[in-house]
Amino acid sequence: MYGIAFAYLRNEDDALEAIQETVCRVWSKRKSLKDDRYFTTWMIRILINVCMDERKKRKREMPSDSAIKDVAGPGQESIERLGIEEQLAKLLPHYKMVIVLKYYRDMTITQIAEMMEKPDGTIRTWLHKALKQLRTEIGEREGDSA
């Protein structure tokens, strides 16, 4: 949860506050969850909504370069070491979030679609376009350094 909140809010205190607000909302709305199998997806969707509300309130943009580095969980290589941090920063915010959720949070297309409240096909399209843009950017970067 922290990685997602931090990626959205780019501030440790704001991320922790968003998690606290999420836990309060989850507790107060727990009876509205119809199927326990979707608890995690439901909780993360609430977290994303809390983060989006906070971003609207403060008119901030999506993850900064330093926030993207921190999204990788324990034991995972940092994005910076993979050499794509700059390229991720160039992506549209929704493309960036799909990449982060898919490859650094190991979520399925369906889980991402439920969380972002978009059809599976839209998430697949965004993922395809994001990967295509990353490949292009990385190719150009490698061409510059050669």
Q: Look up the pTM and report it.
A: 0.53
Pull the structure tokens for residue 40.
């995690």
pLDDT of residue 53: 84
The domain ranges of the chain are 1-60, 74-146
Pull the structure tokens for residue 108.
């399925």
pLDDT of residue 60: 42
**Quick count: other Cβ atoms within 10 Å of Cβ 64?**
16
> Is domain 74-146 classified as CATH 1.10.10.10?
yes
pLDDT of residue 142: 64
Under-50 pLDDT residues of the chain? 60-63, 72, 74-76, 79
Pull the structure tokens for residue 85.
């941090």
pLDDT of residue 85: 67
Closest by CA to 3, choosing from 90, 63, 81, 75, is 63
pLDDT of residue 62: 47
pLDDT of residue 71: 52
